[in-house]
Amino acid sequence: MSRMFELSDRAVDQIAADDPSLAVVLAIPGIEPGLTDFSPGGIDARAELTRGLLAEVETTPAENDADRRAAGVMRHHLQHAAAADEAGDPLRDINILSSPPQQIRMALEFAPANATGELVDQVPSALAGWRTALGEGAARGLPASRRQALRVAEQLAVYGDSWISSFAEERGCSDSTSAAAAAAFRDTAVWLTDVYAQQADPADAVGEERYLRAAAAFNGIELDLDDTFAWGWHEVDRLSRAMRTEVDELYPGLPMTEVRARLDADPAYQIQGIPALVDHLTSLTRTATERVDGELFDIDPRVRECGVEIAAAGSAAAPYYVQPSEDLSRPGTTWYPANGDTVFPRWWLETVWFHEGVPGHHLQLGAIAVHDDVSRFQRVLGTTSGHAEGWALYAENLADELGWFADPGTRIGYLSAQLMRAVRVVVDIGLHTDRRVPAGFRGERRSITPDLALTMLTDLALLPEPFARSEVDRYLGMPGQAISYKVGEPW
């Protein structure tokens, strides 16, 4: 093993040891299960580790092309982590998708059965450390946005009022342990609403400098925002025209604002109940795997299986995927946030599941998990959003090429998902950098506000309003991530 690959191995262990919540989710061998220290002290320790590892990458010689690539991947991730630390971002880390509360919840879900009680016991201290960090950030003039504070408070209230008690009961935790965790979730929700929100930033936009930094981290490249913004509008126009053509084939002349309601009400496109949903999504995944394995791709038998799970109550609305554990003992898994729904839109779900499972995330990240010619860091921690989400968006197009959206309703669902990703480009950039709607589009020369973003998602991309609201909150809390699907898509 080269010195660079040895450094890569050690870097994974050290990062996992300093971020045990991540280690639990990724099932890193040899790391004691636990929750991450989100306090200022824990943040400082991770920042020091980042700087030290980055210095080692720069001083370790690359002996061949594999070393050069391994160094490049580590350098990208460590440099962007260091830049975020320098800007104080961990002291304002709050969003509805991947900030400490969601990391805590996922660590509990993925904890080994024999460690679950211990991790539930750690919830109060983990949340207390995070509150301290947010308070320090506000005192330093680095507050998170008020919107994110209030939305995450809503999630925490659900965790405390219903989710943690049922989860702890399923895992056999003691009543006192679950009660303490529930109280910590609820108390943190109240603190965010009554205390932190009063210190938080009333503005949602992060501005161009911070946006460019985040976008480079998520997308793996430096972007020209003017060009990207203009291209995004071109794609919105192109896909809107394609959508109108497809809708007219099924519902001639029907206003776009009525299309979703018509499809949702059609029994042919409904899935009734959670068990039927899980069965349908599992069948889609297995059928797609059988269709592509050995014909378009060779799927390693060790990562052929892909699970389907229902996400915890209070999750953000978007489905997601979690890669296999490093030792491959736990398969990659797709997650659907039902959030109380009992009827599900088959016409829209199929393209989403090809994105999350096969030939999307599971095919790509499963292949990486068993790729022996890359470093451990590349396999475990080296994915960028632009690479992963770009592939998964390409996978939807591949599914279309394979004829999987021949049914008119599911083809509208496919175009809806494509159009959503184009809308993300223009609204994410516009929301954070105040670029205006260009001439020729409805609302031209207007600023892109959260209300305009919501309208574009519901009226153009056919998202249901609750999902669209969750999406807007997500974009505002994670600048630069939402564009990575379309920016990373292979052309």
Domain residues for the domain of 377 are 213-488
* Domain-embedded: residue 53: yes
Q: What is the pLDDT of residues 446-485, one digit of tens each?
A: 999 999 999 999 999 999 999 999 999 999 999 999 999 9
Q: Shortest CA distance to 484 belongs to which of 249, 283, 138, 221?
A: 221
* Domain-embedded: residue 208: no
Same domain for 99 and 236? no
Q: What is the pLDDT of residue 313?
A: 84
Same domain for 183 and 71? yes
Same domain for 16 and 125? yes
The residue out of 155, 180, 203 marking a domain boundary is 203
- 453 and 427 Cβ atoms separated by less than 8 Å: yes
Same domain for 226 and 154? no
Q: What is the pTM of this model?
A: 0.95
- 390 and 487 Cβ atoms separated by less than 8 Å: yes
Same domain for 234 and 324? yes
Same domain for 165 and 218? no
Q: Shortest CA distance to 105 belongs to which of 219, 184, 176, 39?
A: 184
* Domain-embedded: residue 183: yes
The residue out of 203, 235, 267 marking a domain boundary is 203
Q: What is the pLDDT of residue 317?
A: 84
Q: What is the pLDDT of residue 255?
A: 95
DSSP sequence for 369-402: HT-TTS-HHHHHT---HHHHHHHHHHHHHHHHHT
148, exposed or middle or buried, with CB in 10 Å at 0-12, 13-18, 19+? buried
Q: Shortest CA distance to 115 belongs to which of 34, 212, 6?
A: 34
What region does 253 belong to: left with phi over 0, alpha with psi -120 to 50, or beta?
A: left
Q: What is the pLDDT of residues 80-113, one digit of tens each?
A: 999 999 999 999 999 999 999 999 999 999 999 9
- Dihedrals φ, ψ of 464, to 5°? -65, 150
Q: What is the pLDDT of residue 490?
A: 85
Q: What is the pLDDT of residue 314?
A: 84
Same domain for 60 and 30? yes
* Domain-embedded: residue 71: yes
What region does 141 belong to: left with phi over 0, alpha with psi -120 to 50, or beta?
A: left
- 412 and 246 Cβ atoms separated by less than 8 Å: yes
**Whole-number Å distance between alpha carbons of 426 and 95:** 20
* Domain-embedded: residue 446: yes
- pLDDT tens over the chain, length 491 residues: 999 999 999 999 999 999 999 999 999 999 999 999 999 999 999 999 999 999 999 999 999 999 999 999 999 999 999 999 999 999 999 999 999 999 999 999 999 999 999 999 999 999 999 999 999 999 999 999 999 999 999 999 999 999 999 999 999 998 999 999 999 999 999 999 999 999 999 999 999 999 999 999 999 999 999 999 999 999 999 999 999 999 999 999 999 999 999 999 999 999 999 999 999 999 999 999 999 999 999 999 999 999 999 998 888 888 999 999 999 999 999 999 998 999 999 999 999 999 999 999 999 999 999 998 999 999 999 999 999 999 999 999 999 999 999 999 999 999 999 999 999 999 999 999 999 999 989 888 999 999 999 999 999 999 999 999 999 999 999 999 999 999 999 87
